[in-house]
Structure 1
Amino acid sequence: MPLDLDMAELLNRLERAKAPEYPEMGAILARQFVDTNLPVIDVRPQSVHAVKEIQVDGWQGATLNARLYLPSEPIWAKPMPVLLWFHGGGFTIGSLDSYDAVCRTLCAGAEMAVLSVDYRLAPEHKFPTAAMDAFAAYQWLLTHASDYALDAQRIIIGGDSAGGTLSAVTCLQARDAGLPQPVLQLLIYPGTCGFGETAAYKRFGVGFRLTQRVIDWFFEQYLNSEDDRRDFRFAPLYAENHADLAPAWIAIAEYDPLADDGRLYADKLNAAGTPAELVQYDGVIHGFLNFGGVLKRPHELHQGMMAAMRTSTHT
């Protein structure tokens, strides 16, 4: 369908503002730009019962900052389900602060805890640091959930864009390590391929904010060599086996160079016997999850995510 009218207007506003692209900014300025400007177009942060700044284990002994959102007073006799959330940003940008509004929305709307993890970013921390930090955070949560009245048997792993990649990769690593699967993998326009050869990548790689040039720049920040592109911890579509994984709810945007990544991954999961539901949101671009302050379509995505979360945890 045609580009959503509000989406087109936002793109025009961004074009008139002539904001430089991330490659011109460099990683540090790009992070500052996102942390400052993303909340301006996102939904208004909702009130939740409590927000706690905690720390979780990362890869190779690292300590990661994390933010725990609680929808209600913890009841120790009845632990609550929890979404383990990894933000997007091409493994290079994004933070706990830039995704605060999204996490509050999901916490309040789904009535479950959200644990947002500040995994380490490139180029300071190259591949596979983000993937291994995400897996370490899941292991930490399995072990420490009860310390926060959270239910280790009702964990959802989710994220958008690079965070969706990390979520899928974490499920693969957990299976291979013999660890329990989460009850759901919540993948919002995840990157799953390593080489940008899909039809969507070529069709929507110019003019819709997440351009081929920006994607290439993200990958340059994160990857050590071309060989990393073939590693399933970067491109989960290339894993040898996609069976015995948590069911997946996958959302894609119509005007997104990563749209086919989501489609291909859903097909791969379903073919392997892992249930995967694919939902396309028409008329919008990559990143629209965070545009709820100026667009209507993100609210539909939020509702879809929360419905999938509640169904998977039976709350």
Structure 2
Amino acid sequence: MPLDPDMADLLDRINRAKAPEYPEMGVLLARQFVDANLPVIDVAPMPVHSVQDITVDGWQGADLAARLYVPSEPIWAKPMPVLLWLHGGGFTIGSLKSYDAVCRTLCAQAEVAVLSIDYRLAPEHKFPTAAMDALSAYQWLLAHAAEHGLDAQQIIIGGDSAGGTLSAATCLQARDLGLPQPLLQLLIYPGTCGFGETPAYQTYASGYRLTKPIIDWFFGHYLNSDVDRRDIRFAPLYADSHAGLAPAWIAIAEYDPLADDGRLYADKLNAAGTPAELIQYDGVIHGFLNFGGVLKRPHELHRDMVQAMRQVVS
């Protein structure tokens, strides 16, 4: 279908503003730009019971900043379900700050705690650091959930874009290590392929904000060589088996070069006996999760994510 009218208007305004692209800005300015501007077009931050900045264990003993959102007064006799959230940003940008509104929305509406992880970014920390930080954060949560009033048996893992990739990779690694699976993988337009050869990539990698030069810029910072593109911690589609994983709820955007990544991953999971539900949001582009202050469609995505989480927690 055509671009959503509000989406087309937003794209037109962005293009007329003639803001430089991320590769022109450089990494540090791109991070500052996202932190300053994403909250402007996102939903207004929703009130929650508490927000606490904590530290969790990362890969190789690193301390990772994290932010714990609690929806209501804790009832310590009944630990809370928790969403382990891994933000998007091409493994290069994005932060706790830029995803604060999304985490507050999911926390308040789903009535689950949200633990947002500030995994380490490239190019300072190249592959596989982000993937191993995500796994380490999941292991930390399994071990320390009760200390924060959280239920280690009711963990959902999720993220958007690169965060969706990291969520899927964490489930694969957890399975192979014999760790418990989460209740659900909540994958928002995840990257799952390594080489950008899908029809969607060929069709939408120009003109819809997430362009081939930007993707190349992200991956050029994160990956060491093309060998990494076949590693399942970067491209979960290439795993030898997709059996024995948590059920997945996968959202894709119609005008997104990564749309087929989500489709192919849902097909792989279902073929392996891992239930996967796929929903396409028509008329919108990659990244629309964070556009709730100027578009209506993100509110539908928020609602559907909340419903998917509520169906698996008790």
Query: TM-score, normalising length from structure 1?
Result: 0.99
Alignment of 1:119-130 (within 5 A): 119-130=119-130
Aligned residue for 1:292, secondary structure, equals coil
Alignment of 1:1-315 (within 5 A): 1-314=1-314
C-alpha separation between the residues in 1 aligned to 2:87 and 2:226?
24
Tell me the amino acid that sits aligned with residue 113 of structure 1.
A
* Identical amino acids, percent of aligned pairs: 81
C-alpha separation between the residues in 1 aligned to 2:74 and 2:143?
18
C-alpha separation between the residues in 1 aligned to 2:84 and 2:27?
25
Unaligned runs of 5+ in 2: none
Per-residue CA deviation, residues 105-126 of structure 1 (Å, 9 max, x unaligned), is 0000000100000000000000
C-alpha separation between the residues in 2 aligned to 1:289 and 1:19?
21
Aligned residue for 2:312, secondary structure, equals helix
Aligned residue for 2:180, secondary structure, equals coil
C-alpha separation between the residues in 2 aligned to 1:134 and 1:74?
26
Tell me the amino acid that sits aligned with residue 80 of structure 2.
M
Tell me the amino acid that sits aligned with residue 133 of structure 1.
D
Shift of 1:75: 1.4
C-alpha separation between the residues in 1 aligned to 2:104 and 2:238?
33
Aligned residues: 314
Shift of 1:312: 1.1
Shift of 1:74: 1.4
Aligned residue for 1:40, secondary structure, equals helix
Shift of 1:38: 0.3
Tell me how large the CA RMSD over aligned residues is.
Answer: 0.4
After TM superposition, the runs of 4+ consecutive aligned structure 1 residues lying more than 3 A away are: none
Tell me the amino acid that sits aligned with residue 21 of structure 1.
E
C-alpha separation between the residues in 2 aligned to 1:169 and 1:19?
33
Query: TM-score, normalising length from structure 2?
Result: 1.00
Per-residue CA deviation, residues 273-297 of structure 1 (Å, 9 max, x unaligned), is 0000000000000000000000000
Per-residue CA deviation, residues 11-31 of structure 1 (Å, 9 max, x unaligned), is 000000001111111111100
C-alpha separation between the residues in 2 aligned to 1:148 and 1:74?
10
